[in-house]
Structure 1
Amino acid sequence: MICMNNINKGYMLGEEKVPVLRDVCFRVEKGEFVAILGPSGSGKTTLMNIIGCMDIADSGEYFLDGNAIHEMTEKELNDVRNKEIGFIFQNYQLIPTYNILQNIIMPLVVRGMDSKEAEEKCMDTIRLLGIDHRLRHKPSELSGGQKQRVSIARALVGEPAILLADEPTGALDRSSGQEVLKLFGKLNSMGHTIVMITHDLNVAKSAGRIVNIIDGELSEADG
């Protein structure tokens, strides 16, 4: 599903280029749940941005679901972001003026689907996540855990190749965070491929595999 070979990325600091990722090789098989674990400044956000096609590597190869990402134009990358990747963010990134249903169906409407058709297509996912009774509410009327469920629903409805979660429990209390992680486990058992970025070892342990990132270098966690 994901195959990265010798990925390098750096950023200019004044006249000097500072390396952030160093010869990163990373594999994720279809149906895996993988956590990328690292502290602040380790390069995990940069790696996430490259996985999510929001940034491109300086060198190396990146294949996503058979597509050669490193050879794509910006327009092609935008298509991959919209169709192949379901994003789940720490701060939810819901549109405050939209109700919950409008937020969830937005990816399908952007693709040109009629709102009514999009609503019908999304209902199974909405029921799965237990938010069917809150569809006419605004995000401000929901708890943090409910907002994250909406974010997950929005990520799922486009039927992406992977779910990419950035610190998905970071804004939640412990109980709500555990519920979200249980939900990820359920989705993974249904066959969804999940890559989760986190700084928290306890959160990472919910994944089937943990990969450590330190100073821009990846290593498999022991055990």
Structure 2
Amino acid sequence: MQESSKSDSMIAMMNINKGYMLGEEKVPVLHDICFQVEKGEFVAILGPSGSGKTTLMNIIGCMDVLDEGSYFLDGQPIHEMPEKRLNDVRNKEIGFIFQNYQLISTYNILQNITMPLIVRGMTTKEAEEKCMDTIRLLGLDHRMKHKPSELSGGQKQRVSIARALVGEPAVLLADEPTGALDSNSGKDVLKLFKDLNDMGHTIVMITHDLNVAKSAGRIVHIVDGCLKE
């Protein structure tokens, strides 16, 4: 990877190493990772359990810090940031989409989707107005007053995607987004990702399933903490 390209890419990682202490011994997890995602790309990171893909996802999402190397997100030097600044980046620049949705069961769908904007300081009215286009785009306008327990798995994932989108993040980061869905709902969610990517959204998807990964524009394999195209 060329150092000069870091400011032009949405994600630019150079020589990333990460390990964890196990007793008195440090166990390496990621080995000299170099990874680049251009603005508007849809990339799948494919790997089996224990391959290091979750650790890499956590570093991309600013939920964990690297031991060595450099990481630029939309030109920002993540590897140099203190924890407070990382919190801001995590909340504003990354749209998280989880396998198990992470919805608040006592909130209705509209409240779940607007929550990130209200946390940022918007009034409820401002947040609701800002969310309506996204809610319509994802076909949730007739479900706004429903609770998560009243929705199917596919509908819950659409709520999760809507919640990620409303903050206008630099990157959508999806962790096994079809893992809890049946085959047809999974296909619908992957088509939605394709549509969002066609609209210009940058998407990084973590998966163990090759068939799911094939929906992305590019597949990167992670094996034993090493990345291979």
TM-score with structure 2 setting the length: 0.96
Q: Calculate percent identity across the aligned residue pairs.
A: 85
Q: Does 1:167 align with 2:176?
A: yes
The CA distance in 2 between the partners of 1:127 and 1:62, in whole Å, is 35
Root-mean-square deviation (Å): 0.4
Alignment of 1:86-165 (within 5 A): 86-165=95-174
Q: CA deviation at 1:16?
A: 1.0
Q: How far 1:209 sits from its partner (Å)?
A: 0.1
Specify the SS of the correspondent of 2:44: strand
SS at match of 2:180: coil
1:19 aligns with 2:61: no
Query: 1:79 offset after TM fit, Å?
Result: 0.2
In structure 2, C-alpha distance between the alignment counterparts of 1:9 and 1:176, rounded to whole Å: 35
Aligned length: 220
- Partner residue, 2:54: 45
What's the secondary structure of 1:87's corresponding residue? strand
Output the CA distance in 2 between the equivalents of 1:140 and 1:78. Answer: 30
Secondary structure of the equivalent of 2:142? helix
Q: What is the rounded CA distance, in whole Å, between the counterparts of 1:106 and 1:65 in structure 2?
A: 24
Q: Deviations over 1:22-52 (max 9, x none)?
A: 0000000000000000000000000000000
Structure 1: distance between partners of 2:114 and 2:107: 11
Looking at structure 1, the residues matched to 28 and 141 of structure 2 have their Cα atoms a distance apart, in angstroms, of 46
Q: Give the AA of the match of 2:51.
A: S
Flag structure 2 segments of 5+ consecutive residues without an equivalent. Answer: 1-9
Q: Give 1:15 deviation, angstroms.
A: 1.3
Pair 1:79-2:88 in alignment? yes
2:151 & 2:18 partners in 1: Cα distance? Answer: 38
Q: Deviations over 1:82-141 (max 9, x none)?
A: 100000000000000000000000110000001111101110000000011000010011
**Aligned amino acid, residue 190 of structure 1:** M
Query: Are 1:36 and 2:48 an aligned pair?
Result: no
Q: Helix, strand or coil: the match of 1:8?
A: strand
Q: Which runs of 5+ in 1 are unaligned?
A: none
SS in 2 for 1:96: coil
How far apart are 1:14 and its partner, in Å? Answer: 1.4
Q: What is the CA-CA distance between 1:213 and the residue it aligns to?
A: 0.1
Stretches (4+) displaced over 6 A: none
Q: Deviations over 1:150-196 (max 9, x none)?
A: 00000000000000000000000000000000000000000000000
How far off its partner does 1:13 sit?
1.2
